Structure 1
């Protein structure tokens, strides 16, 4: 005979009968989320560096010194007991006395050298090669990932 099972009887049979003096333990379950990082390649870039050279003319002014030496005859004796004349300046001109000892044992200033210095500018040009680096960035799409085993937890 086919009698439908009594649902109330089945439910009651699954609940353990609790004695009035015993306590009932109910487990409490909690889910937790675990957050982690992993490196995932999403694309690539290709850098291409080239060096370009181009000539450039540099114009500039150089300064150099030139001196003019002039011999000026003096022919004067140095006074007895006096010190010998030294180098002296008159403006931009340096004066160097040239002496000679004569038989009478007196000093005779024979001549003076007058040296005047002045700057002479000269214009010059030089051809130089300058280098410049150029970098080109190209983005490359990432190939679709191949399916693999799931990461182990």
Structure 2
């Protein structure tokens, strides 16, 4: 028997066939292929704002009365008028209503216009180019 001539298989013996198995290994890697940045810009513009302003004032009216009364009375209202009684004691120990102070409310409405600064933000999306510069992405 020589090494160059292997013996012929015996038909009676079982034949052993070698089995080869291939294995696949898949791997991933992170690679930057581009970049995006978002900038938020704040813009300011003026708008005209018109607003009605309401003011209220009080007119003081002093009304001399000079009437003798038996007892004091708390302030009262007559329609839209608040009446505040003012008393004075005299030597005879009688109560005299000296005067009434009448407070009238007056309302005025005026129109007021003012320029008001308003801020608005907008986002700018940009993509980095191959040369390193940034180009705005169409937001439409």
2:6 counterpart SS class: helix
Name the CA distance, whole Å, in 1 between partners of 2:44 and 2:29. Answer: 44
Q: Match of 1:87?
A: 75
Provide Cα deviations, 1:40-67, integer angstroms capped at 9, x if missing partner: 3232235455443323222111112111
Name the CA distance, whole Å, in 1 between partners of 2:31 and 2:7. Answer: 50
State TM-score, norm by structure 2. Answer: 0.69
**Cα–Cα, structure 1 residues 106 and 17, in superposed 2: closer, same or farther, change >3 Å?**
farther
Q: Match of 1:13?
A: 6
Alignment of 1:42-53 (within 5 A): 42-47=33-38, 49-53=40-44
Q: Match of 2:49?
A: 58
1:29 paired with 2:18, answer no
Higher strand proportion (structure 1 or 2):
2
Name the CA distance, whole Å, in 2 between partners of 1:120 and 1:74. Answer: 31
Residues 44 and 142 in structure 1, CA contact (< 8 A), matched pair in contact too: no
Provide Cα deviations, 1:103-124, integer angstroms capped at 9, x if missing partner: 1111100111111213211221
Alignment of 1:71-110 (within 5 A): 71-79=62-70, 82=71, 84-110=72-98
**Cα–Cα, structure 1 residues 24 and 105, in superposed 2: closer, same or farther, change >3 Å?**
same
Residues 42 and 142 in structure 1, CA contact (< 8 A), matched pair in contact too: no
Segments of 5+ residues of structure 1 without an aligned counterpart are 1-9, 144-153
Higher helix proportion (structure 1 or 2):
1
Alpha carbon RMSD of aligned pairs, Å?
3.3
Segments of 5+ residues of structure 2 without an aligned counterpart are 132-140
State TM-score, norm by structure 1. Answer: 0.64
Larger Rg, first or second structure (1 or 2)? 1
